[in-house]
Amino acid sequence: MINRDLIVVGVDGSEGARRALRWAILEGRRTHASVQAITAWTWDGIEGSMLAATNPTLQRERAERISAHELDAVLADTVADSPIARDVVEGHPVAVLVDAARNARLLVLGSHGHGRLHHAALGSISEECIRQAPCPVVVVPPPQHRHAPATTVTT
């Protein structure tokens, strides 16, 4: 059964996810729905960079810090009238988000604004969630940079 009072949002520490979290909280306030902020984490045993966690416990702790930081940052400038749950779940982001959205009214994701090359090479969590989600998916786009209007110079 679909819970019309639940909005699930993916949180990964990116600016796109922060926009999605802000949108989900505002939508929750508007519709009196609770928000569940989900951070997915995995550890494959490979150290990809100097910032990578060296074991699963550290990776989970890192995900917890990201999740808490992002929620605190958004709540600092966004009023939330509805309950907000924060969950950190081990697993591939698509599987975790689709599973969490199984009974939700909406799944909300941020767009990272990558170009075609990035999308072709790496795929898209948002695109996969759109294909697999059992509920409507909202993808919050990056802000459009407005160009200053042309000015006419007369002499």
Fold of 3-140: Rossmann fold (3.40.50)
CA distance 122 to 91: 18
59 and 53 in contact (C-beta within 8 Å)? yes
Q: What is the pLDDT of residue 4?
A: 74
Half-sphere exposure (Cβ direction) of 80: Cα atoms closer than 13 Å: 21
101 and 133 in contact (C-beta within 8 Å)? yes
Taking the chain, what is the end-to-end CA distance rounded to the nearest angstrom?
Answer: 69
Rg of the chain in Å (alpha carbons) = 18
CA distance 89 to 4: 23
Could you list the pLDDT tens digit for every one of the 155 residues in the chain? 566 799 999 999 999 999 999 999 999 999 999 999 999 999 876 554 545 557 899 999 999 999 999 999 999 998 888 899 999 999 999 999 999 999 999 999 998 755 555 555 444 899 999 999 999 999 998 887 665 555 555 55
